[in-house]
Amino acid sequence: MKSAALSITDLTVDYPLADGSVITAVSGVNLEVAPGEIHALVGESGAGKTTIGNALMGLLQAPGRVAKGRIEIGGKPVDIRTGRTEGIVQGKDVGAIFQDPMTSLNPLFTVESQLGETMRHHLGLSRAEARQRSLELLRAVGIPEPERRLKSYPHQLSGGQRQRVVIAAALCCDPKLIIADEPTTALDVSVQAQILKLIRGLADERGVGILLVTHNMGVVAEVADRVTIMLKGQVVESGPVAQVLGAPQHPYAKALIGAVPRVDVKLPRLPVPAQESPGTAAAREQVRARMGGGDEAKAGVLSVDNLVVEYGTRGGLFGGGSRVFRAVKGVSFTVEPGEIFGLVGESGCGKTTVANTIAGLAKPTSGSVTLGGLPIGAKQGGLARKVLQMVFQDPYSALNPRLRVATAIAEPIAFYHLAATKVEAAEDAALLLEAVGLDRAAGARFPHAFSGGQRQRIAIARALAPRPRFLVCDEPTSSLDVSVQAQILNLLKDLRDLAGLSILFISHDLAVVRQMCDRIAVMKSGEIVEQAPTEELFAAPSHPYTRELLSLVPSLDKIAREPAPLGGAVG
Amino acid sequence: MSLAAPKLPATRRRRLQMPVSVMIGLAVVVLMLAVALLAPWIAPTDPTNVASFDLMSAELPPAFMPDGDPAHWLGTDNQGRDLFSAILYGMRVSIAIGGGAVLVAASLGVVLGLLAGYFGGWVDIVIMRVGDVILSLPTILLALLVSGIARAVFPEAGTAQWAPVILIGAIAIHEWVQYARTVRAATMVEASKDYVRAARVIGLPPLHIMVRHILPNVMSPVMVIATINLAAAVLTEATLSFLGVGMPPTYPSLGTLIRIGNEFVFSGIWWIAVFPAVTLVVLVLAVNVVGDWLRDRFNPKLKGR
C-alpha cells in the first residue's frame, strides 16, 4: 500500500506566554491525506487550522512549538521538536499555496526566476533545464502564452494568473503534499471556479495529496473528498464530504453548516442559535419608538437616476493627456421604503463606487441620487446627511481606535441634537448597543477589546445613531466567519423590520444576497445588466452574465442537505 | 512578592524595557530640566543682575586650580560673573528657547499637515511647496536671515526681552516642515480609513473630523520628532547666539557664554568656553539618546527586534 501523503497523529501545538501560562492552539489532532485526495480543513477564525498548516511547513511563529504528536509526510517523519522535516527538503516534498497571490510572489523577480530558483536549488537543474520545466509547469497550470509570461513580473499578471504561478511554484519539485491555505479567498467567483478546477485536476492527475485550509463551505463541497471540522484547536468531526456536510453529527458542525447561507432556498431567517436577551428585545422596542417618532423624511423612495462616475487622472503640470476612467456608466435604480435592494457583481464592477456616491463619499460626474425626491446633503433644499448612513466592509478600520465605543455612538446623537443632554445621548448610545445585541457596559471600552463580529455590531449601532431612513451596507459580512455573518445578516433584517429602514445591500456573495434581498441588480463593468425580484432572478436569470455567475457559485447545495434546520424534524 | 504585581500584556512590558544608555540619558535630561527650572534657587548669584558682577574677581579660574576661589567653583568670566550660575541660567534660556521653538514648529506643522492631508488639492500643493522651498535653505542661513531682518526692522529685537521670541520664530520657521510632512502622510492614510469615511457620512464638519478623529491617531510620530528636534533646536539657538544674533551677553544662553569664552580661549582662560560647551554637549547628547530610542520604539518596521 502506498503511504499517505500526510499523516498527523495526536498533534498538539502550544504557545507559551511570557507569564508562564500556555495557550494550546491545536490539541490532539489526527488527520490523514491519501495521495490524490483533497482533504479540507475548515473552522472559524481561531480554530487552529492555519496553525496546523504552519506546523507542517515548519513556519510556526516564534514562541509556538509542537508539544507532542507525530507528523509524517510521504511516509517520512517530521522532526517535531524543530518542526523541520527530517531527510525531506522544505519546498521539495511539501508545496505551499497561500491566500494572497499579491504578496506570495516577490515583486522584483520575473516568473521565470521565481520558478527556476527553487528547481535549480533543490533539484540541481541547469538554467536551460529549469526554464524548460518552468514552461511545462506554466502549461500545466493553464497560463496562456507561457513563453511570454516567463518574462513577466508579478504586477503584470492578473490575480488569477498570479495564483496559477504560485501553484506552479508549489508544484515545481513534484511534491507529495500541497498545503493550500485559503487559496481562493482573495479571488472573484469566476476566477475561483477556475483555480478550484485546477487544484482538483492536480490531485486527480498527479496524485498529489492536498490539504485545503478554508472557511468557505461552498469550496469544500465543490472540490474536497474529505473534510475535517475544527473548533478551538480540536477536531469535532471528520469524514467524507457528503457525509459530514450532508448529515453532520456534532452540534457545532450542525450549527456551522446550518449558518452557511443557501443559494437554493430563501429562508426567513438564517438558522443560528438565538442570542437575544430580553434586554435586546426591550431596547429594540425603544429604538423603534424613537426612530418612528420623528415624521421627517418618512423613508421615501431612494432614486438613483442615470448615475455616471468618472475617475480622472488629470494632465500633469507639463501637459500630458488626461485620462478618464468610467467606473459607473449610467446606472439607474430605485429602492422602495422598507426594501432591501441587492447590488451584486465581481470586483471592479463599480458597485462600491455606486455605494460611495450614494453616501456622498464620491462625487457623481452626472446623474442624481435623491431620497423621497430630495437631494441628500445639499446645502439648500436637501435632506440632512444623517438620513442616509453606511456600514463598511472592514470592521477593524471602521471604528476610531482612540474613541470609546459609547463616545463614538453618542457623537452623531449629540451633533444632530437628537438628545437634550449629554446624559440622554449616552443613554441613547447604550440603548443602541443593546439593540444590536451587545451589553450596555460595552460602551466604556475601546474598539480593540472586541471581535470582528462585535465591531460590526458597534458599527451598525453607530450608523443607526443619527436615526437614518436609509442604510448602505457595503459587503458588511465578507470579512466575518459564517456563524457571525449569519448573526449580522439576521440583525440587519430585524432592523429593517423594526425601523422601516431601507437598505442597499452590496455583496459579491450570491447566497448572501439571496437570503437578504427583496430585489437584486447585477452589475458588470459599470453597468446594471439585469434587475429583478430575488426569486425571479434566481429561478430564471435572463442575462447570460447572471446565468454564468449563478452557475459558478461554489455551493453546499450540490450535496443533499438536511431540510433547513429551522424547518423542524428531519423526515 | 510578585503575586500582587499587575500583569501587563507581553507587548506592553517589552515597550517599557529600555537599555541602560537610554535610562542614563533620561536621567540626565530630567536632572538638567530640574536644574534649569530651579536655577534661581540653586545658583549662588544672579548672573543677569549686573550688581552681582565683581570686576575685581574677573577671570578667576575654577576652584580646583591653584588661583581658584572656593566661592566660584567653575571660575568667573571676563565680567566677574560666577560661571556656574551663568551656566545654570544659560541652560534655562537654551531649553526654554529650544522647547518654545519645538512647540511652535510642531503646532504649526501639525495644523498645516492636517489641512494639506485632509483637503488635498491646491491646499496641499500650496502648503507643501512652501515647505519644499523652506527646506531648500539651510536652517542656520534661514534663521540668520530672519533674525537679521527682525533686527533691522525692529531695533528692540536684540534685547533680552525680545531676542527669545525672535529666536523661537527663526528656528520654528524651518522646523515646522518636517512635522507637516509627517502629519500629512499619516492624515492621508487615516482619512482613507472607514472610520473617517463613516464620520463624513454622518455629516460631521471637516474641522470636527480632523481634530477629534484624525489628530489623536497621527500624534505619536509627532511626539518622537519633537523629542529629536528639541536637541536640534537647542543647537541652532546656541549657534545663533555664538554668531552674535542670539541672546545678548546681559542675559546669556549657553551659546552666548561659549561666544564670550571663545575670545579668551587662546589666552589660556579656557574655562569660560569649555564648561558651557560641555553642558551643551551633555544636554544635546542625552536628549538625542532618548529621542532615538523613542523613534525606534514607535517605528512599526522595527517592531519585534
Reduced to 3 states (helix: H, G, I; strand: E, B; else coil), residue B49 is coil
Does position B160 have pLDDT exceeding 70, yes or no?
yes
Q: Which pLDDT score, from 0 to 100, does residue A292 have?
A: 63
Q: Inter-chain contact A398–B10, Cβ cutoff 8 Å? A: no
Chain A residues touching residue B200 (CB < 8 angstroms): 360-361
Question: Residue B260: which of B282, B277, B280 has the closest Cα?
Answer: B277
In which domain, by residue range, is A111 found? 6-259
All cell numbers assigned to A38: 483533497
Over 50: is that where the pLDDT of A297 sits?
A: no
B198 in Cβ contact with A390 (< 8 Å):
yes
Residue among A19, A385, A466 minimizing CB distance to B7: A19
Q: What is the per-residue pLDDT for A557?
A: 67
Beta-carbon separation of A402 and B198 below 8 A: no
State pLDDT tens for residues A440-451: 888 888 888 888
Can you give the pLDDT at residue B10?
A: 44
Q: What is the CATH number of the domain that holds B183?
A: 1.10.3720.10
Chain A residues closer than 8 Å to B199 by CB: 411
A202 within domain boundaries: yes
Q: B10: which chain A residues are within 8 Å (Cβ-Cβ)?
A: 17-19
pLDDT above 60 (res A91) = no
Helix orientation angle between A278-293 and A422-435, rounded to the nearest 10 degrees: 120
How far is the C-alpha of A189 from the C-alpha of A159, rounded, in Å? 12
Average pLDDT over chain A, rounded to whole?
A: 82
How close is the nearest chain B Cα to the Cα of A313, in Å?
A: 13
Mean pLDDT computed over A398-423: 89
Bridge partner list, A333: A304
Chosen for mutation from B15, B129, B196, B201 (greatest number of chain A CBs closer than 10 Å) is B201
Mean pLDDT of A4-16: 85
Neighbours of B298 (CB within 10 A): 14
pLDDT at A296: 46
Place of cell 552681582: B52
Residue A135 lies in a domain: yes
**Residues near A229 by Cβ (< 8 Å), separated by ≥ 6?**
A42, A43, A235, A236, A237, A238, A244, A248, A250, A252, A253, A256
Selection from A8-22, A46-60, A87-101, A390-404 with the highest mean pLDDT: A390-404
Q: Which parts of A343-451 fold into alpha helices (H)?
A: 351-358, 405-415, 422-435
Is residue A358, in this structure, part of any structural domain at all? no
Residue A192 is assigned to a structural domain of this protein: yes
The residues with which A302 forms a beta bridge, in sequence order, are: A335, A371
Do residues A89 and A122 touch, judged by C-beta distance below 8 A? yes
The domain that holds A99 is classified in CATH as 3.40.50.300
Residue A528 is predicted with a pLDDT of 93
Q: Is the dihedral of CA B131, B136, B142, B145 positive or negative?
A: negative
Contacts of B197 in chain A (CB under 8 A): 359, 361, 390, 392
Our CA-based measurement puts residue B286 at a distance from the nearest CA of chain A, in whole angstroms, of 31
Could you tell me the CA-to-CA distances from A160 to A155, A206, A478, A507 in Å, in that order? 12, 21, 20, 20
Distance from CA of B213 to the nearest CA of A (A): 7
Residues with Cβ < 8 Å from A290, sequence gap 6 or more? Answer: A428, A467
> B198 in contact with A at a CB cutoff of 8 Å?
yes
> Residue range A369-398: average pLDDT?
82
User: Which residues on B lie below 8 Å from A466 (Cβ)?
Assistant: 202-203
pLDDT in tens, B45-99: 777 777 777 777 777 777 777 777 777 778 777 777 888 888 888 888 889 999 9
Residue B15 maps to a domain? no
* Rounded CA separation A230/A51 (Å): 12
Phi, psi of B91 (to 5 degrees): -65, -40
Residues in B touching A465 (Cβ below 8 Å): 202
Residue A136 to residue A109: CA distance in whole angstroms: 19
**CA A462 to centroid of chain Cα atoms:** 23
Average pLDDT, chain B: 83
Task: Dig out the grid coordinates for B49 from the structure.
Answer: 543682575
Instruction: Provide the 3-class DSSP secondary structure of residue A407.
Output: helix
Residues from chain A that touch B193, judged by Cβ atoms under 8 A, are 397-398
- What pLDDT shows up at residue B1? 35
Look up residue B74 and give its three cell numbers.
Answer: 567653575
pLDDT per residue over A242-276, tens digit each?
888 888 888 888 888 888 887 777 777 777 665 56
Q: Tell me the pLDDT tens digit for each residue of A50-73.
A: 888 888 777 777 677 788 888 888
Q: How far is B273 from chain A (nearest CA, A)?
A: 49
A-chain residues near B194 (CB < 8 A): 392-394, 397-398
Under the banding of pLDDT at 50, 70 and 90, the label for residue B243 is: confident
Q: How far does the CA of residue A465 sit from the closest CA of chain B (Å)? A: 9
Quick check: pTM over 0.90?
A: no
> Residue A357's closest CA among B179, B229, B201?
B201
Angstroms from A316 CA to nearest CA on chain B: 13
Q: Confidence band (pLDDT; 50, 70, 90) for A341?
A: very high
B268 Cβ under 8 Å from any chain A Cβ? no
At B181 the pLDDT is 94
CB contact under 8 A, B201 and A385: yes
Residue A251 covered by a domain: yes
| The pLDDT of residue A204 is above 60 | yes
Give Cβ neighbours of residue A134 (< 8 Å, ≥ 6 apart).
Answer: A111, A112, A115, A116, A119, A150, A168, A172
Tell me the C-alpha distance between A287 and B176, whole Å: 48
Q: How much is the average pLDDT of A130-156?
A: 86
C-alpha cell at B280: 551643551
Distances (CA, A) of A228 to A57, A62, A189, A238, A351: 19, 27, 24, 4, 36
Q: Which of B10, B202, B216 sits opposite A412 (nearest CB)?
A: B202
Edge-to-edge strands, sheet with A374-375: A323-335, A302-313, A366-371, A374-375
What is the chain A residue with the closest CA to B6? A19
pLDDT at A87: 54
pLDDT in tens, A460-518: 999 989 888 899 999 888 878 888 888 888 888 888 877 778 999 998 888 889 889 99
Position A446 in a domain: no
Strand partners, A312: A324
Contacts of A455 (CB under 8 A, 6+ apart): A395, A396, A398, A399, A447
Q: How many domains does chain B have?
A: 1
Would B2 be classed as within a structural domain? no
Let me know the angle formed at the C-alpha of A351 by A350 and A354, rounded to the nearest 5 degrees.
Answer: 90
Give residue-wise pLDDT tens across range B268-301: 788 888 888 898 999 999 988 988 888 777 765 5
**Separation of alpha carbons B224 and B287, rounded Å:** 11
Is B18 buried (19+), middle (13-18) or exposed (0-12) by CB count in 10 A? middle
∠ CA A431-A435-A438, nearest 5°, is 90
Q: Chains A, B: CB contacts under 8 A, how many?
A: 66
How near does any CA of chain A get to the CA of B205, in Å? 10
Q: Are strands A519-524 and A527-533 parallel, antiparallel or unpaired?
A: antiparallel
pLDDT at A314: 56
Minimal Cβ distance to A400: which of B7, B203, B213: B213
Distance CA A295, CA A291 (A): 9
pLDDT attached to residue A86: 54
Q: Note whether B201 contacts A388, CB cutoff 8 Å.
A: yes
% of chain A exceeding 90 in pLDDT? 15
Name which of A179-183, A221-225, A563-567, B163-167 the model is least confident about: A563-567
CB contact under 8 A, A388 and B200: no
Mean pLDDT in residue range B105-113: 95
User: How close A416 gets to chain B, by Cα (Å)?
Assistant: 9
Q: What is the dihedral of CA A174, A175, A177, A180, to 10 degrees?
A: -80
How far is the CA of B172 from the CAs of A119, A410, B253, in angstroms? 58, 39, 18
Best mutation site among A22, A391, A397 for testing chain B: the one with the most B CBs within 10 Å? A397
Complex ipTM over 0.85: no
Sorting pLDDT into bands at 50, 70 and 90, what band is B130? very high
Long-range contacts of A315-324 (CB under 8 A, 24+ apart): none
Interface of B with A in 85-104 (CB under 8 A): none
Q: Which residues does chain B have within 8 Å of residue A401's beta carbon, measured at their own beta carbons? A: 217
- CA–CA min distance A360, chain B (Å): 7
Three cell numbers, residue A499: 425601523
Is the residue at B50 inside a domain? no
pLDDT of residue A565: 43
Type of residue found at B260? I
A385: closest chain B residue by CA: B203
Q: Which of A20 and B122 is assigned the larger pLDDT?
A: B122
Axis-axis angle for helices A544-552, A189-206 (nearest 10): 50
B146 found inside a domain: yes
Question: What is the per-residue pLDDT for B117?
Answer: 93
Looking at the domain assignment, is residue A1 inside a domain? no
Which of B10, B193, B197 faces A18 most closely, judged by CB atoms? B10
Cell 529621542 found at: B291
B204 CB neighbours in chain A (<8 A) are 411-412, 415
| B12 within a domain of the structure (yes/no) | no
pLDDT grade for B11, boundaries at 50, 70 and 90: very low
Nearest chain B Cα distance for residue A172, angstroms: 33
The answer to whether A22 contacts chain B (CB < 8 Å) is no
Amino acid identity, position A109: F
Most confident of A43-47, B76-80, B255-259, B263-267: B255-259
Question: What is the pLDDT confidence band of residue A331, given thresholds at 50, 70 and 90?
Answer: very high
Residue type, A322: S
A384 touching B, CB under 8 A? yes
Q: Which residues have CB under 8 Å from A284's CB, separation 6+?
A: A435, A494, A498
* Closest partner CB to A385 (pick from B10, B194, B203): B203
The interface residues of chain A toward chain B in range 409-438, judged by CB-CB distance below 8 A, are 411-412, 415-416
Segment A522-526 mean pLDDT: 90
Name chain A contacts of B201, Cβ cutoff 8 Å.
359-361, 385, 388-390
Cα separation, B82 vs B275, in Å, equals 12
Do B203 and A399 make contact, defined as CB atoms within 8 angstroms? no
Nearest-CA distance A383 → chain B (Å): 11
| B114 occurs within a structural domain | yes
d(CA B100, CA B112) in angstroms, rounded, equals 18
Does B6 reside within a domain? no
The model's confidence at residue A89, banded by pLDDT at 50, 70 and 90, is low
Indicate the range of A218-227, A281-290, B9-18, B76-85 predicted with least confidence.
B9-18
Contact A390 B201 (CB under 8 A): yes
Average pLDDT score over residue span A199-206: 88
Lowest mean pLDDT among A39-48, A277-286, B10-19: B10-19
Report the DSSP beta bridge partners of residue A212.
A40, A180
Contact of A404 with A447, CB cutoff 8 Å: no
pLDDT score, position B3 = 39
Which residues span the domain enclosing B190?
A: 21-45+56-302
A500 CB neighbour count, 10 Å cutoff: 15
User: Which pLDDT band, with edges at 50, 70 and 90, does B196 fall under?
Assistant: very high
Residue A359 has its nearest CB partner, among B193, B195, B201, at B201
Q: Kindly determine whether residue A385 and residue B202, on different chains, have CB atoms separated by under 8 Å.
A: yes
DSSP E strands: which ranges in A34-188?
A: 38-42, 65-73, 76-79, 84-85, 94-97, 177-181
Instruction: Kindly state whether residue A316 falls inside one of the protein's structural domains.
Output: no
| Residue among A17, A19, A386 minimizing CB distance to B202 | A386
Residue A295: pLDDT band (50, 70, 90) is: very low
Please enumerate in sequence order all residues whose Cβ is within 8 A of that of A546, keeping only pairs 6 or more positions apart, or say none.
A522, A529, A530, A537
Banded model confidence at residue A357, pLDDT cuts 50, 70, 90: very high
CB proximity B190 to A under 8 Å = no
| Residues B194, A462: C-beta atoms closer than 8 Å | no
Q: How many domains does chain A have?
A: 1
Cβ count within 10 A of residue B260: 21
